[in-house]
């Protein structure tokens, strides 16, 4: 019985590690273009472009942000109260007009802390 429990615990531990996303910082961003990762920082400003595109500027207010999060699709974020909050976004790392951008299309890709 002890071997079964130990095996189950190891399987659970390795399965969780395989699904975990690597957390990146601004310095690592350009080295990981096209990859999916998680980036955490403070929201300094935001803009609702239209019903299906919201831009969050992290690490500084526009136009001096470290990176932008492009939230595609309808969002359920509490936008009036998100400024100044720490967020973690999991998405694809891209460059848009020579600026770092993380693209997120699902609400569960954004965690507000």
pLDDT by residue for the chain (113 residues), tens only, comes to 444 433 333 333 333 333 345 566 666 788 889 999 999 999 999 998 998 999 999 999 999 999 999 999 887 778 778 999 999 999 999 999 989 999 998 878 999 99
Q: What is the DSSP annotation of 37-91?
A: EEEEEEEEEEEEEETTEEEEEESSSTTS-SEEEEEES---S-GGGTTT-EEEEEE
Is residue 11 in a domain? no
Is residue 93 in a domain? yes
Q: Helix (H, G, I), strand (E, B), or coil: what is residue 23?
A: strand
Tell me, what CATH number does 51's domain have? 2.40.50.140
Question: What is the number of structural domains in the chain?
Answer: 1
Is residue 29 in a domain? yes
- Domain residues for 54? 21-112
**Beta bridge partner(s), residue 92:** 36, 103
Is residue 7 in a domain? no
Q: What is the reported pTM?
A: 0.75
Is residue 55 in a domain? yes
């Amino acid at each position: 019985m002890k071997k079964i429990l130990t095996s189950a615990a190891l399987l659970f531990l390795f399965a969780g590690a395989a699904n975990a996303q690597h957390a990146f910082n601004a310095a690592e961003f350009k080295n990981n273009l096209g990859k999916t990762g998680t980036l955490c920082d403070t929201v300094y400003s935001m803009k609702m472009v239209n019903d299906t595109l919201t831009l969050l500027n992290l690490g500084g207010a526009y136009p001096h942000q470290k990176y932008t999060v492009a939230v595609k699709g309808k969002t359920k974020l509490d936008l009036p109260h998100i400024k100044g909050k720490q967020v973690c976004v999991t998405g694809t790392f891209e460059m848009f007009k020579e600026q770092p951008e993380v693209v997120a299309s699902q609400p569960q890709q954004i965690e507000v802390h």
